[in-house]
A and B are shown apart, each in its own frame.
Chain A
């Protein structure tokens, strides 16, 4: 299901979520906010894709859930990246660097 405003490069959301969670455990809303914030508002995350992505990552064992209390004293589900998640993030990052470099090369050709 494509994001409504195609705000995130397709196929990169998993990597972005993992990157965000590698900084600190976060709940779903916070992940979206953080991505938007880190991208300086270039990217907005569609919740319709965020949560299924989280489920997929959970299923793949990249992240684990835990219920915590927020600073405002509300219960929220936080996600923490696992060791295999970190490994995956590394490989994704390398892959991204490689392919984005390749795309740059193509785009700069004249």
Chain B
């Protein structure tokens, strides 16, 4: 009974600690008042009586503590008190606190950001996909006649049905193909990402619809299925405000109407990571593009991906599929009859390789992890240095009877609090930093969750706590175990020999870190140089001043006049637009072109009379251009002339060839005046070469110059529909784009869609890998250098703290400040130089692996290496300078007196 009373009392006072404290204060003041009154009645003055009463009462706080201990809430109070004391201690040493917290924040932040990315990319797979590691994409590898092996993930539909019906490799298998479809009509029409997929993609992933249902196998029956659609969640929200009445309604995609049967759940992207706004039956694709009836059984070509859930072990499945493939293939290619089938992770690209983004992400995650390790080591050093500075305080505490356990507890508490503050700040950093990394590295991924989600938080919390405890425990055990006690007895020389093995570890870690930062900065520098090389690369045309206007006209009525009339009508539309564009202020010249650089490639078979035996004499890139083209895009004519205004339609066929073609067919001879036959044009008529244009990069930054023929636009009716308008502008392309858009809006008949981009923008996707490399490696490089600088600072500080006594003696014996500075600075710099040397060696060693990622420039770039090493040494010197300077301020008198 009584025991319960007591327990109740303890619980009550714990729960209402404030109230209990207030009650206690009341009680004390009552007591003191009464005592004072007693003294007053004994003749003391009022003030004196009160003072006397207070004196008798003694240390009020102490009494309070003891009363609290008795009350049973002491343990909790002790923690609270320790926390307060720790915070006070940190506030007293702001430089230490800021450095420790900042290092951990950066490291934790980088880790949290990278973990979020790696988690989605590698660990969890696409959203709503159950057990993604059981899924595999099907690849076919064939050996070409030139004995080159080619692997492709693009497969014909018939391979999907064969894999499904003729093997037992998969428990479920599906085929899909991403595409873009236009919604709306006119200048404001947009293209949305859609995916044609067989309905078993839904069963394969295990996804459930957010609304309605998915389409069925009956609705996706070749050759022509039902016009049904499952719209994406994002699309549903954006276009229909999440209206549930959408089911059964019709949506216009491209030029067709689809009936909505369901809505996919939020974030569902199939087995890929890019957003999908609509899911359409596979058979809806064929009926739209070309309604050839045998597409579902044709082995030629391949335009869709096949994914399956493995039912047997991977090698068994691969053997089954390969055997089936070789039996079933009935296409024309001999190499395919010997091809083999392989199954690879769904994260791999269509060439069957791991996409470089994943490699970069993995690399950065590794760097982040090393950084965390290093940050932990830095913090350990900082804490150790601080503990040694506070050695006397700690020793006195020990002498006063503070247990070892309590000292350890205090130090670990301090480090855990530093880690927690750092972790908190790190999460904030990761929120914005993670978003930057995501949008730079993986702009096409549909992130359904925030950069910081529950899993990231959990991971970060665990990492933070572990780091916090370890970082505090190591110095705590060292300082509390013997070192301090002996240091109290032996003066302040302690920490010498015992610290050496630790010192070596610490210094090596530091050197590794400096080396790592050098490698990162160096790699970033290589990417920056690649970017600069690309910017300076002469593509053969101007990129900033040229706008490509890609317009889609309504399909001509097939009623009137046949193909010829249709071509003439199309030509008229392009010419009409061109005329209007010419009147837009800011436009200096315009041209119409088919198969022009960065827009499309048309390769036609050619014949060169007298040169047909040459291996190159098979095909050439053919580009049809209207007069003014070369001036508009800025491609130089090196021999002969450009096209005249009248050339093209009715006159003698003419052609302009590029240098590569001239060199291939007429090396050292005059090409102008020769004859080139473009097969299929004007009954294989001979086209006379009138000029030679310089080589251009047609589609890619890295490509060899291929033979190319320019024809007058209109000379070959095959090269009209699908042309682009090219517009040369001055500096102010923005205003011109707006004016061109207005022209397109007013055009009659209206365009179905239009896209205006500068050549620079068209080139951008190709430049991205280098920009990503430069940005991310630069970002991580700078962070790692900062962490390394703090690390160096902490090591030198530790050194100075440890040797204060020795330094004092040296100074007392007449060592000049400069000598002391050199002594300490030398230690820091030796580590920096060792790091720079190791880093340089590492940079040279990994150069062959970096080389393929670069653009043209060499990965072994001594100048860049020297520059980066210099930067590193400067930073290292700066980081060691402050603690070294402090070493020179050691007051010998204080040091010696302290003995």
A10 within 8 A of B: no
Taking the complex as formed, is B326 at the interface, i.e. its CB lies under 8 A from any CB of chain A?
A: no
Q: Map CB proximity to A onto B50-91 as digits: 1 under 8 Å, 0 otherwise.
A: 000000111100110011111110000000000000000000
How many chain-A residues does the 8 Å CB contact rule pick out? Answer: 30
In the complex, chain A residues 41-84 whose Cβ is within 8 Å of any chain B Cβ: 46-48, 51-56, 58-62, 64, 74-77, 82-84
- Are B23 and A59 in contact (CB-based, < 8 A)? no
How many whole Å from B245's CB to the nearest CB in chain A? 67
| A29 at the B interface (CB under 8 A) | yes
**A47 lies within 8 A of B6 (CB):** no
Chain B residue numbers with a CB within 8 Å of A62 are 2
A75 touches B2 (CB 8 A): no
Q: At the interface, yes or no: A93 with Cβ under 8 Å from chain B?
A: no
Residues A51 and B34 in contact, CB atoms below 8 Å apart = no
CB-CB under 8 A from A4, the residues of chain B are 58
**Residues of chain A with a CB closer than 8 A to B1's CB:** 61, 84
* Residues of A close to B9: CB separation below 8 A: 58-59, 61
B552 contacts across to A, CB distance below 8 A: none
Chain B residues closer than 8 Å to A75, beta-carbon distance: 26, 30
Check if A51 sits within 8 Å of B63, measured CB to CB.
yes
B440 within 8 A of A: no
A18-49 CB contact bits vs B (8 Å, 1 = yes)? 00000000011110010000000000001110
Q: Is the interface of B mostly helix, strand, loop or mixed?
A: helix
B26: chain A residues at CB < 8 Å are 75, 77
Report whether A77 and B5 are in contact in the complex, using a CB–CB cutoff of 8 Å.
no
Q: Is the CB of A27 within 8 A of B4?
A: no
Q: How far is the CA of A53 from the CA of B4 in the complex (A)?
A: 19
B872 CB to closest chain A CB, in angstroms?
A: 59
B69 touches A52 (CB 8 A): yes
A-B contact number at CB 8 A? 80
Of chain A, the residue at the smallest CB distance from B6 is: A61
Of residues 1 to 47 in B, which have CB atoms within 8 Å of A's CB atoms? 1-6, 9-10, 23, 26-27, 30-31, 33-35, 38
Please indicate the chain A residues that have their CB under 8 angstroms from the CB of B38 in the complex. Answer: 33
Q: A82 to B5: give the CA distance in the assembly, Å.
A: 10
Q: How many angstroms from the CA of A28 to the CA of B6 in the assembled complex?
A: 19
* Closest CB in chain A relative to B819 CB, distance in Å: 54
Nearest neighbor of B71 in chain A, beta-carbon distance: A55
8 Å CB contact of A52 from B2, B10, B34, B63: B63
Which of A46, A76, A82 meets B2, CB within 8 Å?
A82
Q: Are A47 and B58 in contact (CB under 8 A)?
A: yes
Could you tell me if B66 and A76 are in contact, using CB atoms closer than 8 angstroms?
A: no
CB of A29 within 8 A of CB of B2, answer: no
B70 touches A59 (CB 8 A): yes
- Taken together as a complex, chains A and B put the C-alpha atoms of A29 and B33 apart, in Å, by 10
A29 to B5, CA, bound (A): 24
Interface residues of A (CB under 8 A from B): 1, 4, 27-30, 33, 46-48, 51-56, 58-62, 64, 74-77, 82-85
The 5 closest A-B pairs by CB, nearest first: A61-B5, A61-B2, A84-B2, A55-B70, A61-B6
26 A-B residue pairs with CB within 8 Å: A4-B58, A27-B31, A29-B35, A30-B34, A47-B58, A48-B57, A48-B58, A48-B59, A48-B63, A51-B63, A52-B66, A52-B67, A52-B70, A54-B67, A55-B67, A58-B71, A59-B6, A59-B70, A60-B3, A61-B2, A61-B3, A74-B33, A77-B30, A82-B2, A84-B1, A84-B2
The interface of chain B, by Cβ under 8 A from chain A, is 1-6, 9-10, 23, 26-27, 30-31, 33-35, 38, 56-59, 62-63, 66-72
Give 12 new A-B contacts, CB below 8 A, not counting A4-B58, A58-B9, A84-B1: A27-B31, A47-B58, A48-B62, A51-B67, A52-B66, A52-B67, A55-B71, A60-B2, A61-B1, A76-B30, A77-B26, A85-B2
